[in-house]
Amino acid sequence: MSAKPFSSVWTRERRGGREQGLSRDQIVRAAVELLDAEGLDALSMRKLGARLGAGATSLYWHVANKDELIELVMDEVYATVVLPEAADWREATRVFAYGMRHAVFEHPWSASLIGVVPALGPNALTASDRLMGAFVRAGFEGIDVDYAMTAVVSYTLGATIPEVAFLSSLKATGKSMTELQAAVDPILMKMAADRPNLLERYRSYANEGFDPLVARRLAFEFGLTALLNGLGARLR
C-alpha cells in the first residue's frame, strides 16, 4: 500500500472502452458495500472479485491497483457529505462539518483513510468548492479563504477520526460501552495516580453519570462553535 500515490487515479486517463461485463463503477460500489459490511481489513481483491462473480485479477483491468481502488471508494464517501445551501456562512459551515462527520460515521472504515489518501476526486472537489463558497461570501479575502476552510476541515477530521475509530473498534470486540469501562477503568485509574489533572478528571466522571459517547458529541459542538467564533472575530 501507498508506495507511489502520485500518480493518483485522478491524474490518469481513464480507460475508455466498451464497458461490457465489469465496470469501474460497479467495482467501486461493490467495494463500498464490502467495506461497510466487513470493514477495511476484509477488503481484498479476491473477496471483491468473488462478490462480483469475477476473478480477482479481472479487477486490474478497470483499476490500476488497490490504492487506486481506495481513492475511488474514498471519493464515494465524499459523495455522501450533504452540501450546505445556507446563505449564512456559519450555518453553511456547520452543515458541512456535521455532514462530514456523518459521512465518516456511516462508513467507519474511512476513518483510517480520510486524511491519508489524496482527495482529488470529483466529489471531494465539489465539497471543497461549496465550502469555499461559504467563506468567500462571508467576506474572507485572499489566502484567508483557504486558511479558514482548512481550519474547519482540520478540526472536523481531527475530531471525527478518533471518535469513529474508537466506536468501530469497540464494536469489533463485541463488548458494550459499560463493559469496556469496567475493564479499562481500574487500569486507567492506576495510571492516573501520578498524573494529578487526569486523576481529578476521572474522579469527577465517576461522580456525575458520564457517557463518553454523548460527551464526544457535545465536545464536537463545543469546539466547532469556538472555532467559528474565532474565525468570525477575524472578519471584523
Partner DNA sequence: AGTCACCTCGAACAGTGTGCGAGTAGTCTC
Partner DNA sequence: GAGACTACTCGCACACTGTTCGAGGTGACT
Show contacts with a second copy in window 114-153 (CB under 8 A). Answer: 115-118, 120, 122, 125-126, 128-130, 132-133, 136, 142-148, 150-151, 153
Cα separation, 228 vs 134, whole angstroms: 13
Residues 52-91: x where in contact with a second copy by CB under 8 A, - otherwise, as a string: ----------------------------------------
Per partner kind, with CB cut-offs from 5 to 8 A, the member of a second copy, DNA, none near residue 83 is none
Shorter beta-carbon distance to DNA: residue 59 or 161: 59
Task: Tell whether residue 175 is a contact of a second copy (CB under 8 A).
Answer: yes
Cα separation, 68 vs 117, whole angstroms: 10
Cα separation, 60 vs 229, whole angstroms: 48
Out of 21, 122, 139, 230, the residue judged to bind DNA by CB under 7 A: 21
Cα separation, 108 vs 35, whole angstroms: 9
Exposed (0-12), middle (13-18) or buried (19+): which is 54, by Cβ within 10 Å?
Answer: middle
Out of 29, 51, 60, 199, the residue judged to bind DNA by CB under 7 A: 60
Per partner kind, with CB cut-offs from 5 to 8 A, the member of a second copy, DNA, none near residue 51 is none
Task: Tell whether residue 76 is a contact of DNA (CB under 7 A).
Answer: no
How far, rounded to the nearest angstrom, does the alpha carbon of residue 53 sit from its chain's CA centroid? 30
Cα separation, 140 vs 172, whole angstroms: 44
Shorter beta-carbon distance to DNA: residue 68 or 75: 68
Q: How far is the CB of 2 from a second copy (least distance, A)?
A: 6
Nine cell digits for residue 1? 500500500
